[in-house]
């Protein structure tokens, strides 16, 4: 029996392997939970991710046959382990390019890949000299989960954000991790990451990503996924995804160019773009809650299992898949999380209903969609802006692109919590079937969980998600959002 080392994998991967066990599973992370101990055959406690040499000393003593290094924290140590043992994973050179955003920008530019205008700076004056107009984006040389990435809307805001960066860069675990990796692998940072940072023009356009797998250098592209981001602080957090295979020639060319520029091989990838320009190249599979499920619904297999099976066949699917979240950004301890279709068990785990269920197209029509909140503890998803204590915490989009505008409009008509009675919805869910319109729903947070608020370094705001499949963008979004209507939660 093969032994698989799972390095810093997240909650969605644990769920996959709890139902699909390819062999003996060894989990290594700095954060080992009771659920991990119940799922995996062995758990290894690691030091903090920025203590890279100590981590490698521990991992170097382990015996395993396959390595799963498909998260941000696993890329750097995983690339070193894989090279030492001749296993499939990113090379240290590629992992470094995926982590050092300054070097990544230069490689992308050198390969002719379209990217935003950018500069390496260290002062407020240099940012002003670069910026023709505002907003601009400031980001560290290395960043995970958008940490310390900030959108600066005006010259007046600039001093505050530059001062904040100068204070926090020397403490950043992402910078420390990247710097130590450069030293261990004898690569050059080519800047001082404790004082230098990037400034980029802000691209206001559709936020898309191309996702897939690499088998050696063979590209297996799933399609194009539109990201729906929070458009007010906290910026850059995902509120939903819409997946289709409507990928145009420009996106495909940019994807191929980005893969070559960053030397990606034997890994998953996620290439983020805005307005047709590449924002970031990630040498890993996405592990947001529900994200692997989104691809499984479309291509018939979890991407991680497809990679482990060395299944390089190109997937084909029809229609559009929408993934919607209920998010919480305020922080606190989760006191309760329920849904009309779920119940709470004695141990505090939420028993979610996660099977595909058909839903009638009539429920997806604009006239019958019920969104919003009838009480401060009940949170609907009008435009995926949480209704918190009767206030909408996300401002309307200022310059909406067509897809973001459609996302907001889909499901916004017919606002009435009682417009579709629960009994009617249950009947429709259980009695109707069609090629399109099915829903996958899941509560992902656990009672008693502590959620951090920005700018904390560890943030996972997802409380629940729903995935819907339909024949159009509007319909898929409406169905996904409708299925989250009954989610209720309370924090303390």
pLDDT digits 0-9 by tens, 350-402: 334 433 333 333 333 333 222 222 222 222 333 322 222 222 222 222 333 44
Establish whether the linkage from the previous residue to 376 is cis, with ω within 30° of 0. Answer: no
Which pLDDT value is given to residue 235? 59
Q: Return the number of other C-beta atoms located less than 10 Å from residue 166's C-beta.
A: 15
pTM of the model: 0.80
Residues 405 and 488 in one domain: yes
Domain that holds residue 323: 319-492
Kindly report the CATH number assigned to the domain that includes residue 53: 3.40.50.20
Name the 3-class secondary structure at 164. helix
Residues 197 and 220 in one domain: no
Q: Of 176, 201, 226, which residue is a domain's last?
A: 201
Q: Confirm whether 133 is domain-assigned.
A: yes
Which pLDDT value is given to residue 251? 94
Which pLDDT value is given to residue 262? 98
Residues 63 and 208 in one domain: no
- Mean pLDDT for 271-278 is 94
The pLDDT confidence band at residue 455, using thresholds 50, 70 and 90, is low
| Cα–Cα separations (whole angstroms), residue 282 to 165, 213, 216 | 23, 12, 16
Higher-confidence residue of 182 and 442: namely 182
Higher-confidence residue of 106 and 228: namely 106
Residues 455 and 397 in one domain: yes
Q: How many domains does the chain have?
A: 4
Q: Confirm whether 94 is domain-assigned.
A: no
- Mean pLDDT for 269-279 is 94
Residues 132 and 27 in one domain: no
Residue 252: pLDDT over 80: yes
pLDDT digits 0-9 by tens, 281-292: 999 987 789 999
Residues 346 and 418 in one domain: yes
Least confident of 58-72, 230-244, 438-452, 472-486: 230-244
Least confident of 215-224, 372-381, 468-477: 372-381
Residues in the chain: 492
Q: Tell me which residue of 230, 178, 177, 233 sits closest to 207, measured CA to CA.
A: 230
CB distance 172 to 192 below 8 Å = no
Q: Confirm whether 111 is domain-assigned.
A: no
Residues 399 and 455 in one domain: yes
Q: Of 153, 180, 201, which residue is a domain's last?
A: 201
């Amino acid at each position: 029996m093969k032994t698989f080392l799972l390095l810093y994998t997240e909650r969605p991967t644990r769920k996959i392997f709890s139902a699909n066990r390819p062999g003996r599973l060894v989990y290594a992370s700095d954060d080992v939970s009771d659920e991990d101990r119940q799922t995996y055959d062995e758990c290894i406690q690691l030091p903090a991710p920025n203590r890279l040499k100590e981590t490698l000393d521990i991992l170097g003593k382990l015996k395993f046959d396959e390595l799963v290094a498909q998260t941000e924290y696993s890329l750097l140590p995983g690339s070193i382990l894989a090279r030492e043992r001749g296993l499939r994973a990113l090379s240290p050179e590629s992992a470094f390019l995926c982590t050092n955003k300054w070097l990544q920008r230069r490689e992308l530019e050198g390969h002719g890949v379209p990217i935003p205008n950018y500069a390496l700076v260290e002062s407020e004056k240099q940012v002003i000299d670069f910026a023709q107009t505002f907003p601009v984006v400031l980001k560290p040389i290395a960043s995970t989960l958008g940490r310390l990435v900030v959108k600066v809307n005006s010259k007046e805001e600039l001093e505050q954000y530059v001062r904040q960066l100068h204070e926090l860069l020397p403490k950043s675990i992402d910078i420390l991790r990247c710097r130590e990796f450069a030293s261990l692998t004898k690569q050059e940072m080519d800047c001082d990451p404790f004082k230098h940072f990037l400034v980029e023009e802000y691209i206001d356009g559709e936020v898309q990503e191309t996702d897939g797998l690499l088998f050696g250098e063979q590209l297996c592209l799933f399609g194009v996924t539109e990201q729906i981001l929070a458009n007010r602080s906290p910026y850059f957090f995902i509120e939903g995804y819409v997946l289709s295979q409507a990928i145009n020639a420009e996106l495909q060319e940019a994807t191929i160019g980005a893969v070559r520029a960053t030397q990606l091989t034997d890994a998953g990838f996620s290439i983020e773009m805005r307005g047709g320009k590449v924002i970031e190249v990630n040498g890993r599979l996405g592990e947001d809650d529900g994200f692997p499920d989104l691809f499984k619904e479309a291509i018939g297999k979890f991407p991680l299992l497809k990679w482990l099976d060395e299944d390089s066949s190109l997937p084909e699917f029809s229609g559009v898949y929408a993934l919607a979240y209920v998010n919480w950004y305020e922080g606190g301890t989760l006191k309760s999380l329920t849904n009309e279709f779920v119940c709470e068990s004695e141990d505090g785990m939420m028993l979610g209903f996660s099977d595909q269920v058909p839903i009638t197209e009539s429920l997806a029509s604009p006239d019958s969609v019920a969104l919003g909140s009838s009480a401060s503890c009940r949170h609907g998803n009008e435009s995926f802006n949480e209704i918190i204590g009767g206030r909408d915490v996300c401002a309307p989009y200022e310059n909406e692109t067509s897809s973001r505008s459609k996302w907001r409009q889909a499901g916004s008509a017919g606002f009435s919590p009682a417009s579709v009675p629960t009994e009617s919805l249950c009947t429709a869910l259980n009695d109707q079937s069609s090629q399109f319109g099915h829903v996958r729903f899941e509560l992902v947070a656990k009672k008693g969980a502590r959620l951090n608020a920005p700018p904390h370094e560890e943030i996972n705001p997802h409380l629940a998600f729903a995935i819907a499949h339909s024949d159009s963008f509007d319909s898929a979004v409406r169905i996904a959002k409708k299925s989250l209507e009954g989610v209720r939660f309370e924090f303390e």
